[in-house]
Amino acid sequence: MLWGALSGGLELRSEGGEIRLRASFPYGRATTLADGGRSGPARQEVIASRAFGARIARGEEIHFLAGHDYNRPLASTSAGSLTLTDGDEALTIEARIGSEMAGVSYVRDFLTSHAAGLIRGLSPGFRVTPAAGAETVEERGGAILRTVRSAELFEISAVTKPAYPSAQIEARSWQAAPLAPRPTAAHPLNRWRP
């Protein structure tokens, strides 16, 4: 699974004992993941408009987590506490953390860290759809650019320090062309590392 990130953008409000979170993950912004250096050309990536839309449209379960940890859930679509809106410009999330979760230690940790300005990032966890055209990798201006056009979104996390300020994916395998064959039975928690 891949993780992306967005710096800032987490807005929390308290309403009647319930915490409401609103954030967005922008599409279409190319980001430099590695400047190249001795390891080769610079690597850039962009998440195309509505790349995460398939699982959202099918109504499949997606989680809102603290730090990509499934043992620290904050909200989910199946619980009715997470709403995702996929648009041309961004994926918008709205999460409700109910008063019944207020006594949970990791929820208090997340809320306290956010209030202190330590957790401000948003990061989706996903896997590129195993279909033709789901991603392209090309050389552009001396750099390798990967465009993700279709990905299976499994979770969105609040993170301390996103990997880069706009919309990035931390872990990936880079190859200009041809793309490596995709394993047929990948575990959803596996992710590529640079």
Residue range of the domain that includes 114: 2-169
- 178 is a domain residue: no
Count of domains observed in the chain: 1
Q: Would you call 75 helix, strand, or coil by DSSP?
A: strand
Kindly list the distances between the CA atom of residue 30 and the CA atoms of 46, 80, 143, 148, in Å, as whole numbers in the listed order. 4, 32, 12, 11
Q: Quick one: CA dihedral 173, 31, 167, 85, positive or negative?
A: negative
- Give the predicted TM-score (pTM) of the model: 0.74
- 194 is a domain residue: no
User: What is the tally of helices (H) and strands (E) in the chain?
Assistant: 2, 14
Encoded tokens for 44: 């850039």
- 33 is a domain residue: yes
- 179 is a domain residue: no
Q: Quick one: CA dihedral 98, 104, 109, 110, positive or negative?
A: negative
- 50 is a domain residue: yes
| Residue 148 near residue 134 (C-beta atoms within 8 A) | yes
- 149 is a domain residue: yes
Q: What is the DSSP string of 34-72?
A: E--GGGSSEEEEEEPTTTTHHHHHHT---EEEETTEEEE
- 186 is a domain residue: no
- 183 is a domain residue: no
Per-residue pLDDT of the chain (194 residues; tens, 9 = 90+): 444 444 445 666 776 778 888 888 888 887 777 777 766 788 888 899 999 999 999 999 999 999 999 999 999 999 999 999 999 998 888 999 888 888 899 999 988 888 887 877 788 888 998 888 999 999 988 889 999 999 999 999 888 766 435 432 222 334 444 444 444 444 444 444 34
